[in-house]
Amino acid sequence: MAIEKELLHEMIEKLSDADKKTAFDFLQYLLERAKKKTTSWDEIDKEEPDDEPLTEEEIRQLNSDEGYIAGEDAKREFGLQVDLP
């Protein structure tokens, strides 16, 4: 499905500054993913582990129940056909 660049630009312009940062981060992720072309879990298992320590904000988010949804709840709410943890 081809998407016109102009439409993407319009969508991004409508985002808040915080959401623009999120969109930017996600686009960077997609570009990095495209470079790697990882096709299997075996290849992922061969990657070097990420030993960068979590930031205080990441630890706070991990310990927070805010925004958390259990896999079964997500499956039911979104009608997913996969098993989630």
For 41-83, write each residue's pLDDT tens digit: 787 788 888 889 999 988 888 888 776 777 777 778 778 777 7
- 1 pLDDT exceeds 90? no
Question: At residue 22, what are phi and psi to the nearest 5 degrees?
Answer: -65, -45
Mean pLDDT of 24-40: 81
Q: Choose between 81 and 29: higher pLDDT.
A: 29
Helix, strand, coil % in the chain, rounded to nearest 5: 60, 0, 40
Would you say 84 and 72 are in contact if contact means Cβ atoms under 8 Å apart? Answer: yes
Would you say 50 and 37 are in contact if contact means Cβ atoms under 8 Å apart? Answer: no
Q: Choose between 79 and 7: higher pLDDT.
A: 7
Q: What are 48-55's contacts with CB under 8 Å, separation 24+? A: none
